[in-house]
Chains A and B, each alone.
Chain A
């Protein structure tokens, strides 16, 4: 592109920028900057129904939840609401700077319950959302996914199915490098419709008009039940080693885990319904023993039962960690040999991952008699350390190379 053309392009671009800025800056005519989008989505209406509303409630954060004793009612303030358009689409917006501190994690993440009210029925789904500052301003993102994206919620009021299309365990990889099986996919979906309670109906009737975060505090909440469901086993990661290396794993201080939530209509069966984030906040990292064979590592997570006073569902959700890494549940596991890529290593060499990716660590957690989704290590907090006792290789699941692989093993075999 020559310089004159470049100047014309810049002039045009700048003009557009200025006009766009005029459209969104507060002015005497009352126009204001749009609120960040908490989630977008779509509702498939039930037969004979053509309208609905979506309500978004903020769950108490980890600290608030942990303090709640049996019988305590923890507020779940309404932070956004929207009418569903005739084509089924909706957009939830809220101001992250106005969220109650009792609902925010240290990184601003808020665990949200979205409830669709339509045709006298309700369907809920849980998801974490994190405000992220971008060049376009603050946006909410499902940060537990690879590549933060605004949550995209899909509700089907005929089947009772609900999911976040931006957070799909079907994208996780199995040990063979292929995508996860159907069981994992099902565990993040809700699958039970309930009758909309009068409280929900009332709030839905004014959907779209409530944008403040504290107006409805006290109207909905989580009633703390007993007993706690401590030490649930979270399958964390398997390390594959054929004896060529001393291998250990380390989990850093600020690791975030995305854990499934179990819900049931009172008197009904349990089902998974989305996820919520909890974080470990510590200055110390946890390190496993050095082992010379394949080993499965587990954490233990504390779950607590609640009753949602607005949806009248019972809920089991994670409130913190019981134990990290040291929970050896099944110990030795079968070795997996990867063939997509290979990196040669000499005796005495060392190979440490320094920022594991999300897909590396995905398992499940058993709660309420079902297995719901679990994921950890999204950020730079979980690492694998290999010390080569003899010459061999690091092999990975991606043909780009071990450094691009979601799973790796150590092997005595040369490349």
Chain B
């Protein structure tokens, strides 16, 4: 009998708590938490990398690529911005999205993805679209992001990762590539002055 009363009391408390939570959700309405179940960017088996570019000097513009992503399910997302995390000595001057060249050949780089390309987004002929609507597939179906940066320092420049912010089904979402970069003045990116830059 004691156990039964205790269970009834606990059930009552639980229902009160549930109603309180429902009221809270009704008033608060945080769309980023309860929005739709739209697709998300993903990059299967993605590994981290530290990439160094040689002979890149103040005022030079390069485009950083090799950033592959695809959607985890059908639908579409809109990329809002691509930014550098912990950037030093550089400025992001643009970004673009193109089909993964391994999947669909590029008019400028053929089947090759970008490393640290010494070209601008415009000369690489990245399309203007901000949308990604390709579901992951076995043949590299997806996109390659490119981030154009200008070196603003006479020293060494770098960044520790690259962040994609995008909107899916009304929700703001984020995807981060563990892709660190150094832009080095020297003829070799492994030269000591450039290695000294912590990214």
Name A residues whose Cβ lies closer than 8 Å to a Cβ of B. Answer: 1, 3-4, 6-11, 14-15, 17-19, 21-22, 27-29, 146, 340-357, 380, 387, 393-394, 398-406, 414-415
Taking a contact as CB atoms under 8 Å apart, the answer to whether B25 and A403 are in contact is no
Give the one of A345, A347, A353, A401 with max B CB within 10 A.
A401
Cross-interface CB contact of B100 among A7, A345, A351, A400, cutoff 8 Å = A400
8 contacts between A and B (CB under 8 A): A14-B21, A342-B113, A343-B66, A352-B49, A399-B140, A401-B68, A403-B47, A406-B45
Specify the chain B residue showing the minimal Cβ separation from A21.
B14
Name B residues whose Cβ lies closer than 8 Å to a Cβ of A. Answer: 2-3, 6-7, 10-11, 14-15, 17-19, 21-23, 25-26, 29, 34-36, 43-55, 65-66, 68, 70, 100-103, 109-118, 138-140, 142, 144, 178-180, 182, 184, 186-190
Taking a contact as CB atoms under 8 Å apart, the answer to whether B113 and A343 are in contact is yes
Complex Cα gap A92–B144 (Å): 45
Complex Cα gap A344–B180 (Å): 16
The residues of A that contact B178 with a CB separation of less than 8 Å are 354-355
Given A3-B26, A14-B18, A351:B112 Cβ within 8 A: no
Cross-interface CB contact of A8 among B22, B113, B118, cutoff 8 Å = B22
Given A22-B11, A349-B115, A349-B189, A398:B45 Cβ within 8 A: yes
- Residues of A contacting B: mostly: mixed
Cross-interface CB contact of A401 among B29, B109, B144, B188, cutoff 8 Å = B144
The residues of B that contact A14 with a CB separation of less than 8 Å are 17-18, 21-22
Taking a contact as CB atoms under 8 Å apart, the answer to whether B7 and A7 are in contact is no
How far apart are A181's CB and chain B's nearest CB, in angstroms?
Answer: 21
Taking a contact as CB atoms under 8 Å apart, the answer to whether B44 and A400 are in contact is yes
The residues of B that contact A356 with a CB separation of less than 8 Å are 47
The residues of A that contact B115 with a CB separation of less than 8 Å are 343-346, 349, 351, 394
How far apart are B66's CB and chain A's nearest CB, in angstroms?
Answer: 5
Complex Cα gap A28–B4 (Å): 10
Closest 4 CB pairs of A and B: A415-B112, A348-B54, A399-B140, A18-B14
How far apart are A150's CB and chain B's nearest CB, in angstroms?
Answer: 21
The residues of A that contact B21 with a CB separation of less than 8 Å are 10-11, 14
Complex Cα gap A343–B111 (Å): 9
